[in-house]
Amino acid sequence: MPDINFINKSLLNTIQIDFPIDSRPFHVIAQKLGLTEEEVINRIKQMKDDLLIRRIGGNFSPDKLGYYSTLCTAKVPEEKIGLFTKTVNSYSGVTHNYQRNHEFNIWFTFIASSVAMIEKSLKDISEMTQVAPILNLPATKVFKISANFKV
């Protein structure tokens, strides 16, 4: 496991809790932390290479933008996990997926402009991978929590 020093901890906390909306966000972060913009960018690149950071991106509420989202799961045989996750990941509406130690072992979220588009995509994924059923589990009530991990 790579060393997470004080500067990188401060950087991680800043980018996940207080990421600036600016044409040069890394410059703003650098000023806040007493670093150079280049140092911030290099540290972030290194943490991505070290797999401490997977991605940096906005987190939007799909329903407020006119989209629909759902949680999906499937029973995927071990020998089809690679094909299934590659197929699922090829859809731009899939934000992430993960494997669980459960009968329904692959879970993913899907966002699209209509419920019909989600349903068609799930049907297509099932046909392409020969995995069924894929359960579509839309939220009936949304509880928004913050998923920030202070380090």
Q: Can you give the pLDDT at residue 78? A: 95
Instruction: Please give the model's pTM, rounded to 2 decimal places.
Output: 0.67
> Cα separation of 8 and 40, whole Å?
9
Q: Can you give the pLDDT at residue 66? A: 87
Mean pLDDT over each residue of the chain, to the nearest integer: 91
pLDDT tens profile 103-134: 999 999 999 999 999 999 999 999 999 999 99
> Cα separation of 107 and 99, whole Å?
6
Q: Can you give the pLDDT at residue 57? A: 80
Q: Can you give the pLDDT at residue 1? A: 57
Q: How far is CA 70 from CA 4, 40, 78, in A?
A: 35, 35, 24
Q: How many residues does the chain have?
A: 151
pLDDT-derived band of residue 17, with 50, 70 and 90 as boundaries? confident
Q: For residue 59, what is the DSSP state?
A: -
Q: How far is CA 42 from CA 45, 49, 69, 126, in A?
A: 5, 10, 34, 41
Q: Can you give the pLDDT at residue 70? A: 94
CB atoms within 10 A of CB 74: 22
List of E strands, the chain: 68-74, 94-99, 106-112, 134-137
Which whole number is the average pLDDT over 134-151?
A: 78
Domain ranges of the chain: 6-49, 62-137
pLDDT tens profile 46-92: 999 988 887 888 777 888 888 999 999 999 999 999 999 999 999 99
- As a CATH number, domain 62-137 is 3.30.70.3460
Q: For residue 133, what is the DSSP state?
A: -
